[in-house]
Amino acid sequence: MNKTYVLDANAVLDFTEDGPGAGRVEQLILEAHSSDIRLLISVANWGEVFYHSWQQSGEEEARRTMGHLSRLPIQTVTVDREQALKAGKIKAVHKIPYVDCLAAALTILNHAILVTSDRDFEKLGRRIQVLWLARS
């Protein structure tokens, strides 16, 4: 059976900034190139990566980073009504940031594993499966 992973923005930022979880994210990317695993990211989290990169390094570098990321086997997924409503429910019940709720909803809807180091997701308990990255 194919495994599907949803990347939270901080997982992608760890990869681009050589953070503590970069090696594990790189391993997943290599596996996605050579096997049947799928890597997904919500378009909202994709925007979060762009925003953070812009804040850290300026617009030109952020656009360059996003261009490099676009060539990787990471599928950006638009937010549809089902995902938005599921995210809204998660937000109402668990009180975590809405963009995190979108990542969680994408994970649930795709029967996937969320890749993150964001401890806000601990509030979801066992509702989603998480591959925890190292934190600095």
Hey, which bits of 69-127 come out as E strands? 74-77, 113-116
Per-residue model confidence (pLDDT) at position 134: 80
Exposed, middle or buried, 87 (CB in 10 Å: 0-12/13-18/19+)? buried
Confidence (pLDDT) at 35: 84
pTM value surpassing 0.85: yes
- Residue 30, amino acid: L
pLDDT in tens, 32-75: 998 889 999 999 999 999 999 999 999 999 999 999 999 999 99
Domains and CATH numbers, the chain: 4-132 (3.40.50.1010)
Quick one: what percent of the chain has pLDDT higher than 90? 92
